[in-house]
């Protein structure tokens, strides 16, 4: 195994200053997300979602951002999964975007809500057929006896989808994380990174520079 302590990367991108930031962090995030998409990096919409159980046990996984508006960040999943159970028990969570090619990351904290049913229905209709089948076939986060068991479920739903349109299952849909804190991080030389934190105070955002 490599010596982990010897692995280092020097960040050399241009800096980030408050004069270069939009005072609305959602607008600022859209600028950075567009940069990530235009740079053609792998999975620019991938984000680490962290949730916490009722017992205080944290859990993280990568999901994909599927919608962004002035209210927050939307993703879709199985409501009966581990993340779904944790959100039901404790609705506070965080997101982390990391774009290493741009030497940037964005950390977001907030409260998670289910999106309206019609929004989940509309998005489900746009999914590839295989993804629709997967939403029905996979008992997400549950223990299963074998790969064959999962493939048999997939086969059954594929056959069903060949004779009828698969509507969105009740156990599947969207969540929106409504942020109260968003931090933008820009890598700089000698670990003197630029960090700016937006905090929602009432209905307005305040922004502060943080030490790296």
Q: In a 3-state reduction of DSSP, which class is residue 10?
A: coil
Q: How far is residue 95's CA from residue 175's CA, in Å, rounded to a whole number?
A: 12
Residues taking part in catalysis: 191
48 bridge partner residues? 62, 96
Q: In a 3-state reduction of DSSP, which class is residue 165?
A: coil
11 bridge partner residues? none
**Residues 104 and 185: beta-carbon distance below 8 Å:** yes
Q: How far is residue 102's CA from residue 41's CA, in Å, rounded to a whole number?
A: 9
Which of 142, 119, 140, 139 is CA-nearest to residue 63? 140
């Amino acid at each position: 195994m490599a010596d982990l302590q010897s692995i280092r990367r020097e960040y050399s991108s241009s800096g980030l200053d408050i004069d270069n930031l939009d005072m609305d962090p959602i607008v600022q995030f859209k600028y950075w997300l567009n940069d990530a998409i235009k740079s053609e990096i792998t999975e620019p919409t991938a984000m680490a979602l962290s949730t916490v159980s009722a017992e205080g046990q944290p859990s993280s996984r990568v999901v994909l951002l599927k919608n962004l508006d002035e209210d927050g960040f939307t993703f879709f999943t199985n409501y009966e999964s581990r993340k779904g159970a944790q959100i039901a028990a404790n609705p506070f969570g965080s997101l982390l975007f990391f774009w290493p090619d741009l030497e940037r990351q964005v950390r977001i904290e907030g409260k998670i809500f289910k999106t309206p049913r019609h929004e989940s229905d509309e998005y489900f209709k746009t999914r590839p057929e295989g993804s629709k089948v997967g939403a029905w076939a996979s008992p997400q986060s549950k223990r299963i006896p074998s790969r064959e068991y999962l493939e048999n479920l997939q086969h059954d739903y594929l056959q069903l989808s060949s004779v009828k349109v698969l509507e969105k299952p009740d156990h599947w849909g969207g969540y929106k994380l409504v942020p109260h804190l968003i931090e933008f991080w820009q890598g700089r030389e000698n670990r003197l990174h630029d960090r700016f934190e937006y905090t929602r105070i009432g209905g307005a955002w305040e922004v502060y520079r943080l030490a790296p």
